[in-house]
Amino acid sequence: MSNLILVRHGQSEWNLEKRFTGWVDVDLTGQGKLEACKSGEDIKKLNIEVDYFFSSFQLRAINTLKLIQDTLRDKKDPIRAWQLNERHYGALTGLNKDEMKRKLGEDKIHEFRRSWSIRPDPLSRNNPYHPLNIETYKKIPKEKIPDTESLKDTYERVIEYYTSDIQIKLLENKNIVISAHGNSIRALCKSIFKLDNQKISLLEIPTGNPLLINFDLKQEVTECRYLNRDRARDLLVF
């Protein structure tokens, strides 16, 4: 038996401002910090030993995980992986979602956000929001850094890393917490729950609410549930 706990970072500053964030580093709001601490409290109630902690390279996920570990009083070194980053929103990065709905239409923005294979226009490499211009990503090979991504692109990089570095630990009956993002967690759910492309477009991931997934010895899912039922969303699974 092993447990995988997926946590979308607490509310970020750009979540609050309704801006497309992608790979840009923004921190948590006060509400986001409270959500992260509550996530830690909910995980603590499970009375399980967490063997590994993972996060993306992004500040909002890193700080969410830090607050969770502080609540658990667990000082293990977390493993950070850029492959767990949020989807890159290309030229939409930094723009207000409501303004773009008015400009392009709600259907078009929904298509950009939830379609499986459609990418927004690429972000100029001269733009300060481009990952090439952010110090965090200086050690990542340039050919790995995207200018834009579809959910399919995000899925491929997330699942490649999950298969090689995380799933192998679950097979050893280890308990794992991942602090990541709406689309990287959506990608993990698509793989784990075998969701089709239509269902994955409907899956909503709430901020700061741990999703507990139990696996048996054959890595079959035996249970999945949000730890905070009041803020849970439909998993489209069971």
Q: What is the mean pLDDT of each run of 10 residues along the chain (238 residues)?
A: 96 95 96 97 97 98 98 97 97 94 87 86 96 94 96 97 97 97 96 91 91 93 92 67
> Domain containing 41 — which CATH number?
3.40.50.1240
Which pTM was predicted?
0.95
Closest C-alpha to 188, from 161, 150, 225: 161
Give the residue numbers spanning the domain of 78: 2-88+163-231
Amino acid identity, position 155: Y
Active-site positions? 9, 86
- Residue 179 makes CB contacts below 8 A (sequence gap 6+) with 7, 9, 53, 54, 55, 56, 61, 62, 64, 65, 68
Look-up of token digits 């741990």: 210
Number of domains in the chain: 1
Angle between helices 182-193 and 151-161 in degrees, nearest 10: 70
Residue 22 within any structural domain of the chain: yes
Residue 72 within any structural domain of the chain: yes
Residue 6 within any structural domain of the chain: yes
Residue 128 within any structural domain of the chain: no
Residue 104 within any structural domain of the chain: no
Residue 139 within any structural domain of the chain: no
Q: Which secondary-structure segment (H or E) carries 200?
A: helix 197-202
